[in-house]
Amino acid sequence: MLQILAATSNKHKVEEFRAAFAPLLSRMEILTADDIHGYPEIRETGTSFEENADIKAREASAYADMPAFADDSGLEVAVLNGAPGIFSARYAGDHAGDAERIQKLLAEMKGKTNRRARFVCVIALAYRGTSVKTFRGEVNGTIIDEPRGTHGFGYDPVFVPDGYDKTFGELGPEVKDKISHRAKALEKIVAFIKEELDSMDDFEFE
Ligand code: IMP
C-alpha cells in the first residue's frame, strides 16, 4: 500500500488531513512526522507560501524516502499590503500566542475602513527530494474590530468569510472545514492523488 508522509506533527492539521483523505485510506496510508525517527527541524526560509510548503515537502520526502506533502498557510490583509502573510505565525514575536497576534493585527488596522483579507493555504507534494506540484486554496473575507467565538485557532475569531455574518471562531468546523483555504487546497491534492492511484498499478512519481 502507498505510504505518504504528512510533513507536520501539528495534531490539528493531521486530523484535517486524515479527514480529507478518508475516501482514499483503503488504498494509502498517511504517516506523520511523529512516525519518522529523528525527523529533522525544517526551517521556512522561502519568500512565499509556495516556496515554504515546497521546502518542507522536499526535505521531508528526501529524509523519509517516501512521497511527502506539507502545507504553509497564513492571513493576508489588503490594507497591510498582504501582511502578516507568510509571517502569520510569528507576527507578534516567536513566543506570542494567538490573542497577542490578534491584538497586534487589530492595532495595525485601527481606523482603517478597508477590512478586506484572505486566508491562503498552499500544500506542496514532493518525492525523492523533488517538487511534484503545489495546490493553493484561498478564502476571502473581512476582519472585524473585536474577536468573536471560541472555535478554531489563530485569527479565526476576527475573520468573517464572505457570505456569512459570523467569524470562523463562531461558525465552527462544520462550516469552516467545507469552505476554508485548507479545505480547498486539500480537495485539490486529494483529487490529484486519487487520479494517480487510479492510473497506476504501482504508485510512483516518475
Ligand atoms: P503555519 O501554516 O503552521 O506556518 O501557520 C500559519 C499561521 O497562519 C497560523 O499560526 C495562524 O496564525 C495563521 N492561520 C493559518 N491558517 C489559519 C486558519 O485556518 N485560521 C486562523 N489562522 C490561521
pLDDT band at 200, cuts 50/70/90? confident
pLDDT of residue 86: 98
Task: Specify the pTM.
Answer: 0.94
Residue 4 has pLDDT above 60, yes or no: yes
CA of 98 to the centre of ligand 1 (A): 10
Q: Which ligand 1 atom is nearest residue 89's CA?
A: 10
CB burial of residue 49 (10 Å; 0-12, 13-18, 19+): buried
Active-site residues: which are they? Answer: 72
What local confidence, expressed as pLDDT, does residue 163 receive? 98
Coil, strand or helix: which one is 180? coil
Higher pLDDT, 31 or 173: 31
Cis before 84? omega within 30: yes
Q: What is the mean pLDDT of residues 76-88?
A: 98
- Average pLDDT rounded to a whole number, residues 70-91: 97
Residue from 15, 140, 153 whose mutation best tests the ligand 1 pocket (most atoms within 8 A of CB): 153
Nearest C-alpha to atom 14 of ligand 1 is from which residue? 74
Point out which residues pair with 160 in neighbouring strands: 142
Report pLDDT for 199.
87
Residue 32 clears pLDDT 70, i.e. is over it = yes
Residue 4 CA to residue 205 CA, distance in Å, equals 12
Measured in Å, residue 43 CA sits from the centre of ligand 1 at: 16
Output the CA angle 71-54-142, nearest 5 degrees. 45
Q: Is the pLDDT of residue 175 over 80?
A: yes
Question: 74, 72, 60: which is closest to 31 by C-alpha?
Answer: 60
Tell me what the pLDDT averaged over the chain comes to.
94
Instruction: Provide the percentage of residues in the chain whose pLDDT is more than 70.
Output: 97
